[in-house]
Amino acid sequence: MYKVLHRRELNPTVTELTIEAPLVARKAKPGQFIILRVDSEGERIPLTVAGCDIDEGSVNIIFQIVGATTKKLNQKLEGDYIEDFVGPLGVPSHLDGLENVCIVGGGVGCAIALPIARELHRLGAKVTSIIGFRSRDLVILEDEFRNCSDTLTVMTDDGSYGREGNVTLPLKEALEGGKRYDMIITIGPLIMMKFVTLTAKPFGVPVTVSMNPIMIDGTGMCGGCRLTLNRNGKRITKFACVDGPDFNGYEVDFDEAISRSRMYNDFERHAYEEACNLFKNS
């Protein structure tokens, strides 16, 4: 059992929990993730490590309330416990040697991008951050990004905060204006990462994307998190849990990944409604 030490609501649908997990905190690196179960009857879900405090022995996770399990997880208060908290899993982000990096985050994906931006800043790299949200009330982690970025641009789809438009707008402006980056690291919705990659392609800037498909065991054995990469004219299969979650954006078959991500939408919606009814009647 793992204790909830702290809880913070970042916006109406996104929550940050600090979990007591000293062994995970000691080993976790930016880009890695954990798999948890809320209770003994629950499903296993992957969540990226959003930060660690080795002295406290704690790990931060940030999640969006989108399904039955995240609905249950959001009911946990400080002092409560969750059943399982396994990690760190996945390959840490490769950041050594990067001197000038553009971080592009979208929505709750910003929680994954933040520890990478922080680590790059710690290593002395120049960090340009672009973070995007649908509207002002969904903006998260702005102050945290500002503290570790040389330049920060906040975008909202409706223009209610920051600049109006999506994250590819300032990225394209920068590239067309002659900005050159060692790497663009983008984390967020699949469709956003696809178009960030397409925006960067004419300029030849390397792009790393963070993939978070359906996962079950986190060891590559179930095959649920498989991705198709187009590499050197061949289509190859990789597994996000053991080969990722970071991949070369130019190799990822985004259309297939988007299609696979929608396979269980109806099932998840039904499970979410059942969970809501359970809490209402309890």
Domains of the chain listed by start with CATH number: 2-89 (2.40.30.10), 93-210 (3.40.50.80)
Burial of 249: CB neighbours in 10 Å, binned 0-12, 13-18, 19+: buried
Burial of 259: CB neighbours in 10 Å, binned 0-12, 13-18, 19+: exposed
pLDDT per residue, tens digit, the chain (282 aa), is 999 999 999 998 999 999 999 999 999 999 999 999 999 988 889 999 999 999 999 999 999 998 888 999 999 999 999 999 999 999 999 999 999 999 999 999 999 999 999 999 999 999 999 999 999 999 999 999 999 999 999 999 999 999 999 999 999 999 999 999 999 999 999 999 999 999 999 999 999 999 987 777 777 788 878 889 999 999 999 998 899 899 999 999 999 988 887 766 555 555 445 545 555 555
